[in-house]
Amino acid sequence: MATVTFRDETATGRSLRSFDLPDVPDDITVRELIRLRVRDEVARHNAAPAERFAGLVQPQGAEVELNGYRLAQPRRLDWERQADIACAAFLRNGFFVLVGDRQVEDLDEVVDLTTASDVAFVKLVPLVGG
């Protein structure tokens, strides 16, 4: 079992936030890695629900704000729903995942966390233009 450091980064490589998650299987699919990350961040939020959620994907009914999402009122979130949204966002290129310094591209790809325990999530922000 590995301890994984999850990091959210900008496209330029600036770290926005990070946290460690212990007891992650050494070999795991990208899908399960995303689901574990989302389950943990939702559990931390649900332990003390607040108006702000600093998670990977936007909860339903939340407004986007700098480095997070604002909920209309503090509430508990459904981690499975958030995980499904995150997997769908990955497939739509809403963010990409780097394991070590290697980009993974398939939800069913198995990654070896014994050689790389640093996982970066890089959100891609749509450009606004005229």
Class of domain 2-45+80-123: alpha beta
Residue 101 is encoded by which pair of tokens?
A: 């310094």
Residues 9 and 13: their CA atoms lie apart, in Å, by 6
pTM of the model: 0.90
Q: Per-domain residue ranges for the chain?
A: 2-45+80-123
Q: Please, are residues 34 and 44 in contact by the beta-carbon 8 Å criterion?
A: no
Widest Cα–Cα separation across the chain: 49
- Sequential pLDDT tens for the chain (130 residues): 989 999 999 888 888 899 999 999 999 999 999 999 999 999 999 999 999 999 999 999 899 888 789 999 999 999 999 999 999 999 999 999 999 989 999 999 999 998 878 999 998 765 444 4
